[in-house]
Structure 1
Amino acid sequence: MIRIIREGWETFLTDFRAVKEQDPAARHWAEILFTYSGLHAICFHRIAHFLFRRKQFFLARLISQWSRFLTGIEIHPGAVIGKGFFIDHGMGVVIGETCEIGDHVTLYQGVTLGGTGKEKGKRHPTLGNHVMVSSGAKVLGAIQVGSGAKIGAGAVVLRNVPPDSTVVGVPGRVVSQNGVRMDPAWDFSQVPDPVAQSMKRMQNELFLLWMTINRADDRLKQMEQEKAKVQ
């Protein structure tokens, strides 16, 4: 029992330090302790998970639902979450039963780590260490997200993500890995600028109009000269 208490305290301190290290708005330890719903949610989850592993399923779910009511963050007590876990803002975060999350992972508001249906067994994602999942992203199914990966805001990820890569879009696509761009289609510097194109067309049309007016003016002067000679 003493060992369990010591391990739980060490885990709490790691989670607490993760908030202080990653959120520049965290000014004081009391502010973190009493006002950060992400820290509250993971503390409740640690207790619920402890009970879940000892087959106290009803009590575990009761604690997780109470935590959801208080924090707006829903974490199934069966989810396995490593140390240094940080949920920033947190409202609307959902973490499924068979999720496995490594150490020092960061989630932002509106993130869903969910399943894709009613299949049994392992049906939720596995996240490696130092993964960041941005606001509103959905990571669905029994997929692997490698350590150091970053999921962009609003992305829907349905396939495995390699380590140290960045995924964006719907469906999620790997656009860089180890700092190297993987998909040139996402290089927006190569996308034509519609405003510049419109300006260029307008310049061409103005040039043609100027040429037409000049030709008409030259023709008018020529006609006046011919008329003067006849008179």
Structure 2
Amino acid sequence: MQEDPAARNKWEVFLLYPGIHALLCHRLAHALHKRGFYFIARALSQLVRLITGIEIHPGAKIGRGLFIDHGMGVVIGETTEIGDDVTIYHGVTLGGTGKLKGKRHPTLGNRVVVGAGAKVLGAICIGDGAKIGANAVVLSDLPAGSTAVSTKAKIIIKDC
């Protein structure tokens, strides 16, 4: 509750915040996934996506204190690892960059903040206390305490 100044009480957060609903269901789906009930875990995560607009793969490892603010459009991939006390805003993708097997999604340290619309892609590491600005596209490791911003597009092939 301390993360959201609009939250009036714990009941409001528990009953009305889709981020809480998605995380509670993810805990169950993750437990099922770890025990080999892959289909049931995946079905639960897809049902939660339909209800909340937040897609968390049941294989993702999430620490304590994750706060998903607003949440609509958040995607957290299968091999993502998220540390403690992380904040993620709406429209964030923690995704892969291809169809490789194995570790292909980002690892976020503790106390990381990921701004609205940011895309953090690939098997990269985001250090403790790092901040990622709104709509930033991050494709390489970020050191602890750093801030990453910008979405400036770069033309790589000119077709004329």
The two structures share one fold, judged by TM-score above 0.5: yes
Picking from 25, 42, 64, the partner of 1:44 is 25
User: What SS class does the counterpart of residue 120 from structure 2 fall into?
Assistant: strand
Amino acid at match of 1:79: A
Partner of 1:164: 145
Q: Please tell me whether residue 63 in structure 1 is matched to residue 52 in structure 2.
A: no
Partner of 1:11: none
| Partner Cα separation in structure 1 for residue 90 and residue 98 of structure 2 | 23
State the 1:151 CA deviation: 0.1
| Partner Cα separation in structure 1 for residue 134 and residue 55 of structure 2 | 19
- Once the two structures are superposed, residues 158-177 of structure 1 have per-residue CA deviations (whole angstroms, 9 ceiling, x without a partner) of 00000001000126xxxxxx
Partner of 2:61: 80
1:138-217 correspondence runs (5 A)? 138-170=119-151
| Partner Cα separation in structure 2 for residue 85 and residue 53 of structure 1 | 20
Q: Please tell me whether residue 114 in structure 1 is matched to residue 95 in structure 2.
A: yes
State the 1:122 CA deviation: 0.3
| Largest Rg, 1 or 2 | 1
| Partner Cα separation in structure 2 for residue 160 and residue 46 of structure 1 | 27
Q: Please tell me whether residue 33 in structure 1 is matched to residue 44 in structure 2.
A: no
Partner of 2:5: 24
RMSD (Å) for aligned C-alpha atoms: 0.7
Partner of 2:108: 127
Percentage identity across aligned positions?
64
| Partner Cα separation in structure 2 for residue 26 and residue 81 of structure 1 | 23
User: What SS class does the counterpart of residue 147 from structure 2 fall into?
Assistant: strand
Which structure 1 segments of 5+ residues have no match? 1-19, 172-231
Amino acid at match of 1:41: A
Which structure has more relative contact order (CA 8 Å, sep 6+)? It is: 2
- Once the two structures are superposed, residues 161-207 of structure 1 have per-residue CA deviations (whole angstroms, 9 ceiling, x without a partner) of 00001000126xxxxxxxxxxxxxxxxxxxxxxxxxxxxxxxxxxxx
Which structure 2 segments of 5+ residues have no match? 153-160
Question: Which stretches of structure 1, 4 residues or longer, exceed 3 Å deviation after superposition?
Answer: none
| Partner Cα separation in structure 1 for residue 151 and residue 101 of structure 2 | 26
Number of residue pairs the alignment of both structures matches: 152
